[in-house]
Structure 1
């Protein structure tokens, strides 16, 4: 019963968002007492959301940013995790400990440094400036390293005896075995990129490079959001749907990957 009650509390804002998005502008403003249902739903607000502002362009920008950032990060994370899990080099443990210590530093502390660096490189209002600070993650490297270490080391030694290169062993043995964790990292990164707000808001002031998150903020500040709340809620619903669908489709993979990455032995 407590779980049901908590589930209702958590889901109610989503229900209210969807309900508001299908109310007409007149009926919404005419409600002195908010109603928890509507007998005359309309999809006019969704049309307004795409015609009043370049919401489709924001979607395209976010798609490009998400795909490119996730792809580059996966390459960095996989190679880094493999190096820490299987390769032997001097100072590996100390280096990894220092690397993990970066998790203790809040992201807000490095935003200004990143901003100055990107500005000095003249990369403001560019996709490259958006992408570069997000192409690595200490947590994802740690998660994948723990997963790689669960694979018996004897397999690696046997492969080396047979003359298999490290890259071939990584692609043919370790990656297929670690597929659930790789899928989990990919999905979590996609969600992180899609919801990214602070950095895109800081590094871009050109609408041509707005993502859906700061695009919605721009709608609220300068567009129809302050007056036409139903249309604003329609835009938020449209932006939220891809992530909800992604999670519902891959929720079992996410749970499996996190469980595998967080368990040793």
Structure 2
């Protein structure tokens, strides 16, 4: 008998803190180990979600994934030169300080995608919380892995060690692209777990962020010489809770 719960929420294509920070969770389709585990898997995102058994509690941002799915996390922020970002659970960082300083999109937006933990080349996966209670983990410790925070901040100056050049707001690494008609990452049809549009109800259990498998992603190395304070001068901060969808 399943002990999963009904989750009601608004399906979305992006999760947002503000117009300067958006995050998108999807399946990792790059790493061979992730490709194997993601056969038949899915990931969906919901905003303003509630469990029907606890309707007074609001989950502003939810990721609902197949158990064991390997994730890809795309972080998008507006920054003239580039931005730093951190993805962290209540227990430890997934990535601590990584930087997006590549070619910008119109509006000075940049994106960075991560598929692995920064420290050890393991995949970012979602596991069933209750299944890990028997792995010498207590419930309080697992509760800290139920959610994560994604934050970004401005980079003010950095050295590209390959080019041997220093870039700042007066000496940009790339020319600014021509302005485009104003659009939002919110655009696009929303999707439910059943592939339709509009509101959705999913059968879920609490999930945890888990390091597993092998990832091959490599990160660009730069030397940051000036940046905003990651705690006090953020571009944005977004908190996400994880659920495992019912496979019964």
**TM-score, normalization by structure 1:** 0.21
The structure carrying a bigger strand percent of its residues is 2
**TM-score, normalization by structure 2:** 0.22
Larger Rg: 1
